Structure 1
Amino acid sequence: MKLLKLVPDNTNIRFLRWRLPFYVVSVILIAASWAAVFANGLNMGVDFVGGQMIRATFTQDAEAPVPELRADIAKLGYGDPVIQRFGQPNEVSIRMRLPEAASDTAAKDLADQMTRSITAEMQKSHPGVRIDGVDSVSGKVSGELFQTGMLALGAAMLAISIYIWIRFEWQFGVGALFALVHDVSLTLGLFAVTQMEFDLNIVAAILAIIGYSLNDTIVVYDRIRENLKKFRKMPVDEILDLSVNETLSRTVMTSLLTLIVLVALMFVGPASTFGFATAIAFGIFVGTYSSIYMAAPILIWLRVTTNSFVPVEDPMDKQEKLIRGEG
């Protein structure tokens, strides 16, 4: 029985041959991504701008009719609702963005009017629905939540870089941090350009991207460290190419299988998971790219050599060995 191999054995692709052009393109994409974030902003979801949450139970249905409910509420003109099941299959939470108003009093009146319209439409279209509660989240609290989420992303990236610094060398920590900045920046740029809703689910997706990219980078770095010890006379760029090629089969297999599931979730799954699945799918693609073309080539410019992992012998120990005739 012949096994299917997506990547042939003994591949010898010279990835680092094009390291400079790819780095230039990547730096341009990072700058363009942040320019898009500052120019267009992110389309913040209810989690980050405040809003109303209505909890309801469909007592006459075994399962809440989410697609019909989403269409009924959307036609009221308050924007697209975020509807999620929770608890039992017939229980849902409906989150709506707060209406814009000149004052807090006017905003409260508009929010109350929106809630009455939505509950009336639900009771008209779905007799027997029970409204379990209505909660409001202020824009100030939501803004603090966004800041906390961004701080969590930054802290995660910094902690990961310190871990890699301790496990390998400081150059590897810098390379991993740059790769993570690349992945997160391009993902934020995607949401700034497309104006897909940016909520807590997307923050969770970015944290997942950081973890995935880190795992891929560490696999490559571990092989680089082994080969730096093994091939002391080989040029560093050739060692890096060899290491990437040796881990290529694992990288392609893992990324491809994960992308198949995510693409299916994007096009077949519910609308509420589209942004989450899109963010992770895009992040896996750029994370795989960055582990090859960002994390590895930067080691050359940071002057990693074949002696980087050779223990430095203490001069006193060396002198003692000479005295004993062991040197």
Structure 2
Amino acid sequence: MSDLKIINFMSLRKIAGALSMALVLGALASLAINQLQFGLDFTGGTLIEVGYEQAPNLVNVRVQLQDAGFDDAVVQNFGSEKEVLVRLGQTFNDKVGQQVLSALQSSATSSVELRRSEYVGAQVGEELTEQGGLGMLLALGIVMIYVALRFQIKFSVGAVVALIHDVLIVLGIFSIFKLDFDLTVLAAILAVIGYSLNDTIVVSDRIRENFRKMRKGTTIEVINESLTQTLGRTLVTSITTLLVLLALLIFGGELIHGFALALMIGVLVGTYSSIYVAVNVLLLLGITKEDLIVPPKEEVIEGEGFEEGEGFEQDLEADLGRP
């Protein structure tokens, strides 16, 4: 590692901490004021599927529905370019499907056929909302226990704070820009938790290893070297993941647009948080080499004991990687 140029990541830790605090507070403020724009999966509403003889322009379809008084209509392709799914708010009656069909037929250049018209109950949405929130809380609790057992309690706190940071920022962006929040976005947030946790564990593992191996150096120097060693792996993983998500965002269609966007934001924020949020928390909690030293065995063979303190010093040297 002597040829590796160490990057001083921690020189920006105060700026990064202030930035993270501002982003989280902004996200919380937006969630309190604007809240989330829940989709039909959570609020209930009407689903109408129509089939065109020729592939329509979705922008024109939206304009037609708005002119007919359906201002909250969400239009997207479903299955093929000739199949269009229209999602409306909670208003529903037996004639709404025919009203939408009539509005589309009035300006269509080809024949339009009503395939189905059904209602998604709000009670289902309430259950999904509750179960989704409990799922995220359960995931965070399991993560905290796992990291505490795998590493140390300070690493556990850092990992959970980083995950909460990532989730709040993704939710805040969807709230600020009033983007539709549905089950695909919830799935993306759960995926963000897994991605961010994986990145944080890789960094934590290298920090723990270097705390035990490096003979000299302050806590910040050990962390900087650990982050430098994992930087290549972090960049390769993040860039390849972002390329796949970018392809999904552009070519995947409106049905998974929210999923791809939420996961892209989560990957970017998760990569940042594994370097600055989780590690910043470690420094605030005062992580030291002594926190990661394996307790020495107190086994003394009769007649072959050490001088006072000698056994502990030998175990300490072994834990720190000394010959």
Smaller-chain TM-score range?
0.7 to 0.9
Q: TM-score, normalised by structure 1?
A: 0.82
- Aligned identity (percent) is 37
Give me the whole-angstrom Cα distance separating, in 2, the residues matched to 1:113 and 1:308.
68
SS in 1 for 2:118: strand
- Counterparts in 2 of 1:224-303, with a 5 A limit? 224-303=207-286
SS in 2 for 1:13: coil
> What is the CA-CA distance between 1:130 and the residue it aligns to?
4.8
Tell me the distance in 1 between the aligned counterparts of 2:160 and 2:153.
Answer: 11
Distance 1:115 1:323, change over 3 A: farther
User: Whole-Å Cα distance in 1 between the matches of residues 65 and 256 of structure 2?
Assistant: 19
Distance 1:52 1:11 in 2: 59
2:13 & 2:61 partners in 1: Cα distance?
Answer: 51
Question: Do 1:82 and 1:96's aligned partners in 2 also have CA atoms closer than 8 Å?
Answer: no
2:74 to 75, 81, 87: 81
Give 1:41 deviation, angstroms.
Answer: 1.2
What secondary structure sits across from 2:292 in the alignment? coil
Say which of 106, 129, 134 aligns to 1:146: 129
The answer to whether the 8 A contact 1:44-1:198 is kept is yes
**Residue 82 (structure 1) shift:** 4.3
- In structure 2, the residue matched to 1:12 is 6
Within 5 Å, give how 1:126-275 maps onto structure 2: 130-275=113-258
Distance of 1:66 and 1:226 partners within structure 2? 57
Aligned residue identity for 2:68: L
Q: Conserved in 1, the CA contact under 8 Å of 2:49 and 2:84? A: yes
Cα deviation, 1:67-98, whole Å, max 9, x if unaligned, reads: 36555445433123243524x77655432222
CA contact (8 A) 1:74 1:81 kept: no
How far did residue 231 of structure 1 move? Answer: 0.9
**1:312 aligns to what SS in structure 2?**
coil
**Residue ranges of structure 1 left out of the alignment (5+ in a row):** 1-8, 100-107
Which residue of structure 2 lines up, in the alignment, with residue 306 of structure 1? 289
What stretches of structure 2 of length at least 5 have no aligned partner?
312-323
Alignment of 1:56-71 (within 5 A): 56=50, 65=56, 67=58, 69=61
1:39 corresponds to which of 33, 36, 41:
33
CA distance in 2 between partners of 1:174 and 1:20 (Å): 19
Report what 1:5 is aligned to.
none
How far apart, CA to CA, are the structure 2 residues paired with 1:231 and 1:241?
12
- Quote the Cα distance in structure 1 between the aligned partners of 2:221 and 2:64: 61
Equivalent in the alignment of 2:301: 321
Corresponding letter in the other structure for 1:34: L
* Distance in 2 of aligned mates of 1:232 and 1:297: 23
Amino acid at match of 2:26: A
Task: State the shift of 1:203 in Å.
Answer: 0.5
Q: Normalising to structure 2: TM-score of the pair?
A: 0.83
Paired amino acid for 2:47 = M
Contact persistence 1:224–1:240 (CA under 8 A): yes
1:97 matched to 2:80? The reply is no
Q: Distance in 1 between matches of 2:143 and 2:10?
A: 25
Q: Give 1:38 deviation, angstroms.
A: 0.6
Separation in 2, partners of 1:65, 1:221: 52
Instruction: Say whether the 8 Å CA contact 2:50–2:85 is kept in structure 1.
Output: yes
Q: Is the 8 A contact 2:56 2:81 kept in 1?
A: no
Structure 1 pair 118–322 and aligned structure 2 pair: CA distance change class (3 A): farther
- Kept after mapping to 2: 8 A contact 1:232/1:307: no
Q: CA RMSD in A?
A: 2.6
* Letter paired with 2:4: N
Count the aligned residue pairs: 302
Query: What's the secondary structure of 1:134's corresponding residue?
Result: strand
Conserved 8 A contact 2:77-2:254: no
**Using the alignment, how far apart are the partners of 1:21 and 1:321 within structure 2?**
54
| Residue in structure 1 matched with residue 100 of structure 2 by the alignment | 118
